[in-house]
């Protein structure tokens, strides 16, 4: 059941995020400030990208919605304190801590 709920969450999030990604973004250059200024639907897409990026670098195809949410909150906190940091540098800084 938990697996199905996670998949439902992912599908719903993609449905919200896809229309808002009309333009391409270079995620390696995206700053925390830019993410903070995005509408909610776009930040959902960015959060999903972050989760995929982290899991892809680790070679892990599993999704844990609770951990993904907790990690997104950690990144949001870091970004509020470091608005000029890039999103990828925020991820790397939190991975080291």
Sorted by where each begins, the domain ranges of the chain are: 2-96
Give pLDDT, residue 86.
93
Interatomic CA distance for residues 34 and 9, integer angstroms? 25
Mean pLDDT of the chain: 78
Is the CATH number 1.10.890.30 carried by domain 2-96? Answer: yes
- 8 Å CB contact between 27 and 49: yes
- Quote the pTM value: 0.66
Predicted confidence (pLDDT) per residue in 10-31, tens digit: 544 444 444 444 578 788 899 9
């Amino acid at each position: 059941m938990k697996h199905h709920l996670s998949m439902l969450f992912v599908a719903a999030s993609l449905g919200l995020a896809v229309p808002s990604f009309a333009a391409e973004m270079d995620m390696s250059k995206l700053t925390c400030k830019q993410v903070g200024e995005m509408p909610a639907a776009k930040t959902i897409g960015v959060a999903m990208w972050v989760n995929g990026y982290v899991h892809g670098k680790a070679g892990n195809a599993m999704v844990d919605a609770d951990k993904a949410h907790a990690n997104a909150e950690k990144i949001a906190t870091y970004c509020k304190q470091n608005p000029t940091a890039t999103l990828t540098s925020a991820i790397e800084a939190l991975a080291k801590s």
